[in-house]
Structure 1
Amino acid sequence: MRSRLKLTAAVGAFALVAVAGVAAFYSVAGNAGNSASCSAARPVAARMAPLARGDVAAVQVHGTPLPTPDLAFNGPDGTPTTLSAFRGKTLLVNLWATWCPPCLKEMPALDALQSALGGPDFAVVAINIDTRNLDKPRAWLDKRKIAALPYYADPQAKVFQELRAARKVEGMPVSLIVDAQGCELAILQGPADWASADAKALIGVAMTRP
């Protein structure tokens, strides 16, 4: 009886390992496929690299663009949405919070960038990750007349955790430049003057096709 139980347990363990191995294989294969599709954006990234200077000198442009996690958050009306809903637009994805002074400092510049370039081909997606006092972020934006930015929020801050897991992001704010196919062209860990001529030049190239 004991030997039969041991055999059953061994077979079960083997099955679990086999299933996990198959899942891992398909996960890696899927990521490889995404990476391959993002490699087509290399020419755009190469044109962007020399423009990471001045007010956006700290932006890290990827030699090979990376698949961007399909971050999930709430739209302006509170309904769930994801980054893939913006497919077809170049995005500046920014995570911010009211407890982050550098985040607050760059919000007017992000608002100005959205006013200047926002439209069918580009959007600033600024996602608030406050987990307490959930009325505070909107009130802060209203008080400072930051009106061009639609209000996106993730009150569980899962978007930050997902980016940290995928990109080893450790601090705030963090901004990603994502192309129209959902490939991450560049990342900035820290604030920038996104309304500057340097930033607009960088974004302008990101909006071009390979």
Structure 2
Amino acid sequence: MTFLGSLSSWSPVRLALVGGVVGLVAALAAGGVFLTRASASGPPAFSGGYGDWEAFADPQPAPAIDFLDPDGERINLDAYKGQTLLVNFWATWCAPCIRELPALDELQADLGSDAFRVLIISIDRKGLEVAQPFLDGLEVEHLRTAADPKGALAREMKATGLPTTVLIAPDGKVMGRILGDAEWNSDGAKALVRYYLK
């Protein structure tokens, strides 16, 4: 007896049950493919000391609040439009900040270009006169620090703890952030940055 012949002898209830199971399996398989595609379209997973990379579903423009560039000139983040920026808020009194600075320096050395830059911004109240000499003492070679001594930009960027790192797209929109120190010289960090550079 062929398979089709055996189906003709099945009761309608049995056929309905088998059809339902086949339909459910097909729906689950299709759903699994859909879920895989949806997760594959977002940024790669990346974790730090206090949590995971948070990609924003509805990126908003970075606030146009002045801070001091490494030369002490007043600028805002609009000055960097056209580049992908990894902005890190730090302070000389913050142990996790100090721990991650060499990794940020290495990331700048490896991926820094006209298209991408690591921008570190100290929130030390004494500004550049304290922050840059401190940074020099760490033998950080590829970064100079900017300063936000009143913490105005950090507050607007929702830097609720230190360090906080945000990624800003070339159009000036804030794409995501991570709280706490992270291994920015790791393959995972570089994959995250490259995702936003495509």
Q: Compute the TM-score of the two structures, normalised by the length of structure 2.
A: 0.73
Deviation at 1:187, TM superposition (A): 0.8
Q: Distance in 1 between matches of 2:137 and 2:147?
A: 18
The alpha carbon displacement at 1:63 in A equals 2.1
Matched, 1:94 2:93: no
Aligned equivalent of 1:120: 114
Determine which of 30, 46, 53 is the counterpart of 1:53: 46
What is residue 184 of structure 1 aligned with on the other side?
174
Amino acid at match of 1:103: C
The equivalent of 2:31 in structure 1 is: none
The reply to whether residue 201 of structure 1 matches residue 191 of structure 2 is: yes
Aligned to 2:30: none
In structure 1, how many angstroms separate the alpha carbons of the residues matched to 2:147 and 2:193?
A: 23
Structure 1, unpaired ranges of 5+: 1-44
CA, structure 1 residues 142+185, in 2 after alignment: closer, same or farther (shift >3 Å)? same
Tell me the TM-score normalised to structure 1 length. 0.69
Q: 1:107 to 1:64 in 2, by over 3 A?
A: same
Identity %: 36
- Structure 2: how far apart are the matches of 1:85 and 1:119? 16
Aligned-pair Cα RMSD in Å: 2.1
Quick check: which one's helix share is greater? 1
- Consecutive unaligned residues of structure 2, counting only runs of 5 or more, are 1-38
SS of equivalent to 1:135: helix
Aligned to 1:75: 69
Q: One-letter code of the match for 1:74? A: L
Mapped partners of 1:46, 1:91: distance in 2: 23
Q: CA deviation at 1:53?
A: 3.2
Whichever residue aligns with residue 112 of structure 1, its letter is E
CA gap of 1:204–1:78, structure 2 versus 1, over 3 A, is: same
The residue aligned with 1:33 is: none
CA distance in 2, matches of 1:91, 1:129: 18
Instruction: Give the SS at the match of 2:119.
Output: strand
Which protein shows a greater Rg? 2
Q: 1:66 to 1:52 in 2, by over 3 A?
A: farther
> 1:83 and 1:94, CA in 2 relative to 1: closer, same or farther beyond 3 A?
same
Cα displacement (A) at 1:154: 1.6
Runs of 4+ in 1 over 6 A off after TM superposition: none
Report deviation, 1:48: 3.9
Corresponding residue of 1:155: 149
Q: CA deviation at 1:55?
A: 5.9
